[in-house]
Amino acid sequence: MKRGWALGIALFMAGCGPQYTIPSYETGDIERVVSSGHSPKSCLEHLNEDAKELKVNVRLTDMHHESTSGPIAWLYNYSYVCTGKVLRS
């Protein structure tokens, strides 16, 4: 029984974090960070947390809503996607 709960928690936690990063083709460094959230506020919070984990500063460049389908899609899908451009100092 404990193993089932641990697996469920692991799958839930696997959904957190950046969806992906986009590298710069010239330098290979991270150019953009893409994160997601259930609401615009949580999307922005996740973007800032992901940037902190990656040790970069980002500026929000895009936020959009992705539609989901299915009767319980809202349980497992983040519907807002945020893109942040990495700021160079």
Give the pLDDT of residue 75: 63
Q: Which helix (H) or strand (E) holds 40?
A: helix 40-54
Give the pLDDT of residue 8: 45
Answer whether 50's CB lies under 8 Å from 71's CB.
no
For residues 86 and 88, give the distance between their C-alpha atoms in angstroms, rounded to a whole number: 6
Backbone φ/ψ region at 42: left (φ over 0), alpha (ψ -120 to 50), beta? alpha
Residue pLDDT tens, the chain, 89 long = 555 444 444 444 444 445 778 888 888 889 999 998 888 999 999 999 999 999 999 999 999 988 777 776 666 666 889 999 999 86
Residues in the chain: 89
The residue ranges of every structural domain in the chain are 2-87
Give the pLDDT of residue 13: 43
Model pTM? Answer: 0.70
Neighbouring CB atoms inside 10 A of 36's CB total 21
